[in-house]
Amino acid sequence: MKKSKLIKIALTMICAIAFFSARAQHTANLKSFDGVWTGVLKDKNDKESLVVVKILNGLASRYDYNDDTKKFEKSSFIKENSMVLGNNLSFTWMNKGGIWSENQTYMISYLKPNVLYCRLIRQVNNVSEDKNSPGMNDEWSTYFEGALTHYDTIAALEKALL
């Protein structure tokens, strides 16, 4: 067999292996995000934050545990926004009270079926003077990250965790 024909065969095999390997990666569609997602996210000091997010048709909602009812309940915020593009979903909520306003943004990436990765940024602004910066509002923020696992429903999550 000629050397050029062997090179062509080898190149064809390399391309085929590369093609089939690339196909093993996970690509999300809108339905890939559907469900109830939960995980314990950590900050740089290992402080933990339990996150429960329900996603349906690309729209996310935050859920919190209510000690009185012993159930996870949908949180209520003044503004909420969700966006999906490719393997990423972004969910932001905003709220305010007397002298404060707050926003949280969840940057969520689809890793494989039933596994998402989440980075959460929380920022708070208090309309009161910052002790360390006279003349400026007091502001603080924090950052958490970690994996989220999938449950079909809130009831399934409660059954597994409670």
Residue 47 is part of which domain span?
Answer: 28-161
Q: Is residue 84 part of a domain?
A: yes
Region at 35 (left for phi over 0; alpha for psi -120 to 50; beta for the rest): left
Q: Is residue 7 part of a domain?
A: no
Q: Work out how many domains the chain is built from and give that number.
A: 1
Helix intervals (H) in the chain:
3-22, 154-161
Q: Is residue 17 part of a domain?
A: no
Strand residues in the chain grouped as ranges (E): 35-42, 48-56, 59-66, 71-74, 79-85, 88-96, 100-112, 115-130, 133-151
CATH of the domain at 70: 2.40.128
Q: Is residue 60 part of a domain?
A: yes
Q: Is residue 5 part of a domain?
A: no
pLDDT single digits (tens) 88-101: 999 999 999 999 99
Q: What is the number of other CB atoms lying within 10 angstroms of the CB of residue 35?
A: 21
pTM given for the model:
0.80
pLDDT single digits (tens) 101-143: 999 999 999 999 999 999 999 999 988 877 888 778 888 899 9
